[in-house]
C-alpha cells in the first residue's frame, strides 16, 4: 500500500492525496512510518512537516496528508486526487465514504482510491469490493498470498499462528479469506467423538477452577492442565498441551457460599494447589450479603486456611475473542486438540454443541436460560491463559 500511494503521488504532480489509518497511534507508529521508509529507500526527496502531519515531494510538489479515520467529519475539506487507507476493516464505513466523496480533483491525472485490509466476514467492505455493489469496471480486489511475505518475518511465524488459531480464524487472519466467524454454532470446533473422553485426575497437578456468576444456574468448571514439554529422549514426540475438564458444578438457585461448600465436598482433599479464574465482573446478588462474589470466595478460603491463587483480569474479554480462544484449543488450524472433557460434564458438552450466535451479530443466543454459562466459565480460563491477541490500547492486568 505504501508503494502504491507513492506511485499515485508521483502520477498526480502538484495535487493532494491522503494516507489514512483507523487511529492516530496506528497512523503514526505503523502506516506513516512505513511510507516514510519507502520514500527514503527509493531516494525520493521530500519535506516532512511533523507538526501539521503532511509531506511534500520536492520533484513534483505533490502533497500527502496523514490522517486518522476516527472522526469521519474531519476528513471533509480537501479535494483529493487519490487516497490510501490502511487496515480498512477497523475503520468506520463513514470515513471511507467521506474519502470517496472527496475524490474529485479535476486536475488529477489518476483519480484513484485504495485500501489494504484483512477480511472480517461478509460486511460492507465485502459488498463494496466483491459483492453485488462492486461494479467490475470500477473496483478490483487483489488477494495477496501471505506466504510470499515469509522472508520478511521471523522463522516459524506462520506455523505459530497455525497452532494458535482455530481453522476458521486462520483462514481469515492468515489466508485472507472471507468467512462467517459469527454465524451458526459458536463452538463449531467442538467434536464430541474427539473432545470428550475420560479426564484422568492427577493428584500432583493443581486444580484450575473457573466461574461464571449467573443467577440460575451458577456454573463453574474444574480442570487440570498438563503443560507442553519437549521430548526427553531421542525420537520421542513432544508432550502437547492438555486441558482436562474433570468436573462441572452447575447448581440451580444457589448462592456463592453453597457452591464453595460443594466444591470442598468434592475436591477438599486435593493438596497440590488451587488456581481460580472467572468473570472479572464478579456480579454479586446482594439479597444475603453486601460483598461481591470475589470477596466471598477469597474470604471463604482465608477463613479455612486454604491457599488459592486468583488469576482474574481487570476487564472481561469481548465475547467473540473468548469464543475464538476456546475454539483454538478445541481444534487449531494444525489439527491439534488440547481440550478433553469428562463425559459427566453434561452441561458443558451441551453448551459446546448447542450455543449459537444471534444472526448478524457477535452476541450469543441466550434464549435458553440454561445455555452459555458453563462454556463461559471455561472460556474465562482459556482466555486468561491463552488469549489470541491484545486489543489496541488494552492493558491486560489482573485484579487478584
The DSSP secondary structure of 8-59, one letter per residue, reads HHHHSTT-EEEEEESSHHHIIIIIHHHHHHHHHHTT--EEEETTTTEEEETT
How far lies 198's CA from each of 23, 195, 221, 267, in Å? 48, 10, 15, 17
pLDDT at 136: 65
Domains (range + CATH), the chain: 2-117 (3.40.50.300), 192-385 (3.30.420.280)
pLDDT at 238: 66
Residue 319 contacts by C-beta under 8 Å, 6 or more apart in sequence?
Answer: 362, 363, 364
CB 76 within 8 A of CB 103: no
More confident position, 63 or 162 = 63
How far lies 82's CA from each of 14, 59, 157, in Å? 12, 18, 34
* pLDDT above 60 for 393: no
- The DSSP H or E segment spanning 248 is strand 242-251
* pLDDT above 80 for 108: yes
* pLDDT above 70 for 346: yes
* pLDDT above 70 for 327: yes
Pairwise CA distance, residues 280 & 40, whole Å: 47
DSSP bridge partners of 185: 356
* pLDDT above 50 for 266: yes
pLDDT at 394: 36
Give which of 378, 327, 382 is closest to 221, Cα–Cα: 378
Q: Which three cell numbers stand for residue 184?
A: 451458526
Q: What is the pTM of this model?
A: 0.64
Pairwise CA distance, residues 347 & 3, whole Å: 54
Q: Which three cell numbers stand for residue 61?
A: 510538489
Query: For 16-30, how does the pLDDT look when each residue is reduced to its tens digit (9 = 90+)?
Result: 999 999 999 999 999
3-state DSSP percent of the chain in helix, strand and coil, to 5: 35, 20, 50
Determine the straight-line distance between the first and last CA of the chain, rounded to whole angstroms.
44
The DSSP code sequence of 285-340 is PTTT-SS-HHHHHHHHHHHTT---EE--BSSPPPHHHHHHHHHHHHS-TTS---EE
CB 128 within 8 A of CB 136: no
Give which of 149, 100, 161 is closest to 125, Cα–Cα: 100
Q: In the structure, how many helices (H) and strands (E) does the chain have? A: 13, 12
Q: What are the φ and ψ backbone dihedral angles of 349, each rounded to 5 degrees?
A: -60, -40
DSSP bridge partners of 339: 243
- Lowest average pLDDT, out of 78-82, 181-185, 193-197, 257-261, goes to 181-185
Pairwise CA distance, residues 307 & 270, whole Å: 11
- Lowest average pLDDT, out of 35-49, 224-238, 350-364, goes to 224-238
Q: What is the mean pLDDT of the chain?
A: 85
Instruction: Give the CA count within 13 Å in the CB-facing half-sphere of 398.
Output: 14
Mean pLDDT of 47-64: 95
Amino acid at each position: 500500500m505504501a508503494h502504491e500511494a507513492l506511485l499515485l503521488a508521483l502520477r498526480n504532480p502538484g495535487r493532494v492525496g491522503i494516507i489514512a489509518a483507523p487511529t492516530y497511534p496506528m497512523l503514526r507508529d505503523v502506516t506513516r512510518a512505513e511510507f516514510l521508509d519507502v520514500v527514503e529507500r527509493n531516494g525520493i526527496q521530500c519535506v516532512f512537516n511533523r507538526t501539521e502531519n503532511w509531506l511534500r515531494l520536492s520533484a513534483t510538489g505533490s502533497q500527502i496528508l496523514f490522517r486518522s479515520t476516527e472522526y469521519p467529519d474531519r476528513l471533509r475539506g480537501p479535494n483529493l486526487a487519490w487516497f490510501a487507507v490502511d487496515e480498512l476493516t477497523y475503520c468506520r464505513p463513514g470515513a471511507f465514504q467521506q474519502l470517496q466523496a472527496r475524490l474529485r480533483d479535476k486536475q488529477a491525472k489518476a483519480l484513484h482510491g485504495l485500501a489494504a485490509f484483512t477480511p472480517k466476514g461478509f460486511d460492507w467492505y465485502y459488498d463494496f469490493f466483491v459483492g453485488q455493489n462492486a461494479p467490475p469496471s470500477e473496483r478490483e480486489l487483489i488477494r495477496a498470498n501471505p506466504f510470499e511475505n515469509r522472508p520478511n518475518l521471523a522463522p516459524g511465524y506462520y506455523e505459530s499462528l497455525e497452532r494458535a488459531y482455530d481453522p476458521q480464524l486462520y483462514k481469515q487472519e492468515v489466508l485472507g479469506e472471507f468467512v462467517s466467524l459469527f454465524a451458526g454454532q459458536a463452538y463449531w470446533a467442538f467434536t464430541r467423538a474427539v473432545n470428550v473422553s475420560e479426564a484422568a485426575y492427577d493428584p500432583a497437578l493443581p486444580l484450575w477452577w473457573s466461574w461464571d456468576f449467573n443467577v440460575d444456574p451458577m456454573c463453574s468448571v474444574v480442570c487440570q492442565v498438563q503443560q507442553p514439554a519437549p521430548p526427553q529422549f531421542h525420537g520421542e514426540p513432544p508432550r502437547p498441551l492438555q486441558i482436562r475438564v474433570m468436573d462441572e458444578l452447575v447448581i440451580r438457585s444457589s448462592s456463592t457460599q453453597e457452591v464453595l461448600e460443594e466444591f470442598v465436598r468434592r475436591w477438599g482433599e486435593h493438596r497440590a494447589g488451587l488456581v481460580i479464574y472467572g468473570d472479572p465482573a464478579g456480579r454479586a446478588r446482594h439479597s444475603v450479603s453486601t460483598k461481591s462474589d470475589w470477596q466471598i470466595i477469597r474470604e471463604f478460603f482465608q477463613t479455612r486456611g486454604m491457599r488459592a491463587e486468583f488469576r482474574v483480569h481487570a476487564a472481561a474479554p469481548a465475547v467473540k475473542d473468548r469464543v475464538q480462544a476456546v475454539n483454538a484449543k478445541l481444534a487449531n488450524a494444525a489439527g491439534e486438540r488440547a481440550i478433553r472433557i469428562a463425559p459427566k460434564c453434561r452441561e458443558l458438552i451441551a453448551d459446546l454443541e448447542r450455543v449459537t450466535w444471534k444472526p448478524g451479530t457477535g452476541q450469543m443466543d441466550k434464549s435458553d436460560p440454561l445455555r452459555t454459562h458453563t462454556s463461559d466459565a471455561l472460556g474465562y480460563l482459556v482466555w486468561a491463559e491463552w488469549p489470541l491477541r491484545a486489543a489496541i490500547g488494552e492493558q491486560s492486568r489482573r485484579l487478584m
